[in-house]
Structure 1
Amino acid sequence: MPDILAAGVVVFRSGREVLLVHRPKYDDWSFPKGKLDRGEHPAAAAVREVAEETGLHVRLGPPLPSQRYPVANRMKTVHYWTGRVVGDDDVTGYRAGDEIDRVAWVPVDEAPVALSYDHDRETLAAALRIRRKTRALVVLRHARARSRTAWRGPDPGRPLLKAGEDVAVRLVPLLAAYDVTRIVTSPSTRCVQTVAPYAATTGFEPDLRSGLTEEEASQRAVEEIVGEALEADAGTVVCSHRPVLPLVYDAAGLGARSAAVPQETGEMLVLHVRKGRVVAVERHHPGA
């Protein structure tokens, strides 16, 4: 049978403390996590589960190795990320529920003893190696658009297909999982439509940059845009086109490592940035 799929977050805060939850059914201490809803992306599920189990809103940091272990007659895979709280991190007012009856910030030196399972201790050890605070720079290729041969107007006006519009909607919880608050995009219709659902949901106004278009992109223009994003104290999405993406990779210091496997339409390349430098990279498609 296929694995049970779940996702969770190892959440840190200043003072070298990690967030743990207690499940009365099993009388165990672990990290906040839970099963994916049907069609839900693991990254979005991880953030949702933390909110449901602890009342805290978090943003994802670099990913961690997944856990896989037996549960009854099946296997369970849990995808994990490091994370930080967005807003208030106070849990003293937490109200006990049927699934989680206690939520606590625990010093990281005490957490290995408090945790009930060896696989969680291994995950904690991996998280401690990359626990420092980061911000996300999401490099996004626009979703699937009308083909050039089927479109009669100027190419910048080429719109998304219905499948592309669906992907744009599915991007909303994924971008939110990385606390994206800056939207920088090519003004071409297919790029603007790709980020439009997220902009409408959050109220963040897209910043239209002609330097990200196929027609006007240049190394200098892209370096300026990416440089701003690398230095920003905020999660940023940069939406552009396939021919422009290698310039974005170069400006971010990635080079051929990321260009080796071209991004699909609607695919996100998540760069985790600390002090202007990319320290971790992951790829996600909202349909996967």
Structure 2
Amino acid sequence: MPDILAAGVVAFRPGREVLLVHRPKYDDWSFPKGKLDRGEHPTAAAVREVAEETGVHVRLGPPLPTQRYPVARRMKTVHYWTGRVVGDDDVSAYRPNDEIDEVRWVPVADAPKVLSYDRDRETLAHALKLRRKTHALVVLRHAQARSRRAWRGADDARTLLQVGETEAVRLVPLLAAYGVTRIVSSPSTRCVQTVRPFAETAGYPLELRPLLSEEHATTEDVGALVEELMGDGQNAVLCTHRPVLPQVYDAAGIELPEDTPLEPAGLLVLHLRKGRIVAVERHHLHRDVR
């Protein structure tokens, strides 16, 4: 039997407190988490589950080691991230239900005694090493587009395939999970179509940069933009093309194996603190390759 897949967040708020939930069915204390919906990406599920179980909205920080343990006759895999609250962190008005009957902010010094499982204590120990505030730069390759061979117009006007349009819509909760507020893209149609659903849903403007297009990208210009995005403290997405990605990687100081290139609609998430990378994730819509 395949693993049961779930996702959760170790969420912190100022004052060195961590968010825990109590499940009456098991009489245990743990982090908010839950099963993935069919076709749902773990990042989106993690944020959704925290909101559903606690009423608190979070954005994801650096990833944590994945938990895997037996449940009845199957194994369960839980993907975890650190997280920070977006907006109100008050849980005093939480209404108990059959699944979660208590939500509590617990001082991190007390949390190991409250948590019911050793695996959660280990996850908390990892999270405490990464709890300082970070921001994310999401490097995104555009979704699946029409082939150059079949396209008769200008290359920069080449559009997404129908599957690519679907991928663009599915990217919306992933980018939202990392709290993206700045959208920087090549002006080529296939890139604009990739990030437009998120821009329209979130209400943020598109910053179109010709220097990110295949026709105009230079090492110097791409490097300057990446340096700006890594240092400005905002959560941003940079959408570009496969031939430009190596320039982005070089500017960021990261390496991606040549035999495993970033796939269409694939993304790298760079978690940054004071302009330095503290963690890197790699995701694709059709499978989690973190």
Q: Please give the range of the TM-score, normalised by the shorter of the 2 chains.
A: over 0.9
Paired with 1:245 and 1:199, the residues of 2 have a C-alpha distance of 22
Counterpart for residue 192 of structure 1: 192
Contact 1:246–1:259, Cα closer than 8 Å, also in 2: no
The 5 Å alignment of 1:97-116 reads 97-116=97-116
Deviation at 1:75, TM superposition (A): 0.8
The 5 Å alignment of 1:142-157 reads 142-157=142-157
- Report the AA paired with residue 204 of structure 2: F
Contact 1:64–1:127, Cα closer than 8 Å, also in 2: yes
CA deviation digits over 1:88-143, x for unaligned, max 9? 11111111122111111111111000000111111111111111111110000001
Contact 1:170–1:287, Cα closer than 8 Å, also in 2: no
Deviation at 1:258, TM superposition (A): 5.8
Deviation at 1:261, TM superposition (A): 2.7
TM-score normalised by the chain length of structure 1: 0.97
CA deviation digits over 1:36-76, x for unaligned, max 9? 00010011000000000000110001111111111111111
Contact 1:41–1:286, Cα closer than 8 Å, also in 2: yes
Paired with 1:95 and 1:230, the residues of 2 have a C-alpha distance of 40
Paired with 1:114 and 1:149, the residues of 2 have a C-alpha distance of 61
Whether 2:275 is the aligned partner of 1:273: answer no
The DSSP-based 3-state class of the residue aligned with 2:174 is: helix
Counterpart for residue 123 of structure 1: 123
Paired with 2:126 and 2:258, the residues of 1 have a C-alpha distance of 27
Whether 2:13 is the aligned partner of 1:13: answer yes
The 5 Å alignment of 1:1-288 reads 1-254=1-254, 256-257=255-256, 261-288=260-287
Contact 1:167–1:287, Cα closer than 8 Å, also in 2: no
Paired with 1:152 and 1:250, the residues of 2 have a C-alpha distance of 33
Deviation at 1:209, TM superposition (A): 0.1
Deviation >6 Å, runs of 4+: none
Deviation at 1:287, TM superposition (A): 2.0
Deviation at 1:233, TM superposition (A): 2.5
Deviation at 1:260, TM superposition (A): 5.9
Contact 1:249–1:259, Cα closer than 8 Å, also in 2: no
- Report the AA paired with residue 160 of structure 1: L
Paired with 2:229 and 2:205, the residues of 1 have a C-alpha distance of 16
Q: How many residues align?
A: 287
- Report the AA paired with residue 153 of structure 1: G
> Quick one: percent identity of the two aligned structures?
72
Deviation at 1:262, TM superposition (A): 1.2
- Structure 1, gaps ≥5 residues long: none
Distance 1:258 1:61, change over 3 A: farther
TM-score normalised by the chain length of structure 2: 0.97
Bigger mean CA offset, 84-93 vs 27-36: 84-93
Distance 1:20 1:275, change over 3 A: same
Paired with 1:224 and 1:87, the residues of 2 have a C-alpha distance of 32
Distance 1:132 1:260, change over 3 A: farther
CA deviation digits over 1:124-173, x for unaligned, max 9? 11111111111110000001111111001010000000111111011000
Paired with 1:142 and 1:258, the residues of 2 have a C-alpha distance of 19
- Report the AA paired with residue 55 of structure 1: G
Paired with 2:93 and 2:223, the residues of 1 have a C-alpha distance of 46
Paired with 1:159 and 1:251, the residues of 2 have a C-alpha distance of 28
- Structure 2, gaps ≥5 residues long: none
Paired with 2:143 and 2:232, the residues of 1 have a C-alpha distance of 25
- Report the AA paired with residue 70 of structure 1: P
- Report the AA paired with residue 183 of structure 1: I
